[in-house]
Chain A
Amino acid sequence: MKAVQQTVLYEQAMDPRFLDEVYGIPGGEKIKDCIQCGTCSGSCPVSWAMEETPRQVFAMIRAGMREQVLDTLTIWTCASCYQCASRCPQQIKITDIMYMLKRMAIREKRQRSKHARALSECFVEIVNKYGRNHETALMTKFVLATNPLGALSAAPIGLSLFAHGRLPLSGQRVRDIEGLRKIVRKAQELGGE
């Protein structure tokens, strides 16, 4: 006999504080104005690759479905193109709320944040070291961190860029790197890291 699947979420399973977390980002309270029109989902160029569409995610946030929202592939499919935000009739900062959900999932080391977390970590490490992004180092680090076996399949693209003089071996460095690092440390502290 098939196991009965629970399709109803009870109030106890909801996290009412989730919405407060959203209100915490600049302009976050605007989520109250969502009319569930679906303009975001209709505008999104990648909603076809998402699990829940942006409109559904916004309903889930308001319902307090914290676990489900932070574990959905949807937030990792958002490319930050701002199409939804620029068309939202209620001027909700949809892209920024997506960014916030990514930050929360990364901080809680959610399983599906793995790739984005690796990319962000490689990126942040390089910028903290040099002050600028060294693209050659970023691509190499990221491929080795996420898919060392796939490095071979990524190699032709790297090699063709290199052959066209577009992947220099050495990177540029910020002169006042110490000053920049102080800013970074303080910002991390203020940003709740």
Chain B
Amino acid sequence: MRYAYYPGCSLDATARPYAESVKAVAAVLGMELEEIDDWNCCGATAYMSVNEVLSFCLSARNLSQAARTSGTLVTPCSACFTNLRKTEVYLVEFPEMKQKVDTALAEANMRYDGGVVTKHLLQAVVEDIGLEKIRSLVKRPLTGLRVAPYYGCQIARPYGIEDDSDNPTMLDKLLGALGATPTYYPMKTVCCGGSLMGTREEVALRLCRNLLLCAEQDGADCIAVTCPLCQINLDAYQISINKSYGTDFHFPIIYFTQLMGLAFGLKIVELGLQRCIVPATDVVSRFAEVNS
């Protein structure tokens, strides 16, 4: 199956393990991911706070590039996903905004008139490839592994995946198909704080503390994530959280693609699992080949 692929900026840097595992897992699933040509940053949440028109133009430029690539547009980043979907909706619902975006894009001889279907990678994996096929590809079921399914906020919201916005189950089902046990995790769509980690750190640390506490109460072994920002906040800042709250959390924060790869029998380095700040050693030693 062919897809237009928009990785987003984080996948070149802090989310490198996500990029590596997406590539490895897509190959197993038979997903041909063709990176859209010369893509630009989606503007994240920063641009929307500066200039609304500009924010929509950035995503419209990416959509226009995607329109020239065949297949559904997939992105592994929840923030990029929200911006792409939101832009699509706004260009249809608000002709005045469309006109402004058209005028700006014309400066570079570009134009976007709709037609691109955008999916989050999780959605493409579950909806297009299907759980049946995924089950058949599992070589080493993650039996006994208790995983807190953390969706993060934006993936489930107004511009998000077609799933219940308060209690989505897509990731739960995927984890089940891999042989793992998804925990109840009532905080599955509560925000991690996102960029507040930079601007109001004490607020974001508390949100992340609560997410970790909830995973602990669930008896989870690790937390599965679908967004680069959630991953870095929970993983890289876990030490700061322990310091601030006197806790002793050591939850590996693992991308859902890394868990898929483990179940498919892929090697640790192919999945970037050695790049977790909070080591995933326990999880890995149970399911990955030694020395792989």
Q: Are A115 and B194 in contact (CB under 8 A)?
A: no
Known: A77-B203, A120-B50, A123-B44. Is A167-B14 also a contact (CB below 8 A)? yes
CA distance A64 to B199 in the complex (A): 28
Known: A46-B203, A164-B277. Is A190-B49 also a contact (CB below 8 A)? no
Known: A49-B200, A131-B40. Is A103-B104 also a contact (CB below 8 A)? no
Nearest residue (CB) in A for B82 is A82
Stretch at the interface among B51-59, B68-76, B217-225, B282-290: B51-59
CA distance A164 to B235 in the complex (A): 12
Residue interface mask B5-39, A partner, CB < 8 A = 1 = 00001101111110000000000000000000011
CB distance from A92 to the nearest CB of B (A): 11
Contacts of A152 in B (CB 8 A): none
Stretch at the interface among B93-101, B120-128, B174-182: B93-101
Partner of A136, one of B13, B38, B154: B13
Nearest residue (CB) in B for A133 is B9
Q: Are A191 and B13 in contact (CB under 8 A)?
A: no
Q: Are B153 and A116 in contact (CB under 8 A)?
A: no
CB distance from A5 to the nearest CB of B (A): 28
CB distance from A104 to the nearest CB of B (A): 10
Q: How many residues of B contact A (CB 8 A)?
A: 74
CB distance from A192 to the nearest CB of B (A): 8
SS class of chain A's interface: helix, strand, loop or mixed?
helix
Nearest residue (CB) in A for B210 is A45
CB distance from B51 to the nearest CB of A (A): 4
CB distance from B17 to the nearest CB of A (A): 8
B132 CB–A CB distance under 8 Å: no
CA distance A120 to B40 in the complex (A): 17
CB distance from B235 to the nearest CB of A (A): 9
Q: Are A161 and B236 in contact (CB under 8 A)?
A: yes
- Contact count band on A: 35 or more
A-B contact pairs, 22 of them (CB 8 A): A49-B202, A77-B196, A80-B45, A87-B166, A99-B52, A116-B199, A119-B198, A120-B47, A120-B49, A124-B50, A131-B40, A132-B40, A157-B239, A160-B277, A174-B40, A183-B105, A183-B110, A187-B53, A188-B51, A191-B52, A191-B54, A192-B51
Q: Which residues of B contact A (CB under 8 A)?
A: 9-10, 12-17, 38-41, 43-54, 57-58, 61, 82, 90, 93-94, 96-97, 100-101, 103-105, 107-110, 153-154, 156-159, 165-166, 189-191, 193-196, 198-200, 202-204, 206-207, 232, 236-237, 239-240, 274-277
Q: Which residues of A contact B (CB under 8 A)?
A: 25-27, 45-46, 49, 76-77, 79-83, 85-87, 99-100, 102-103, 106, 115-116, 119-120, 123-124, 127, 131-136, 142, 156-157, 160-161, 164-168, 171-172, 174-176, 179-180, 182-188, 190-193
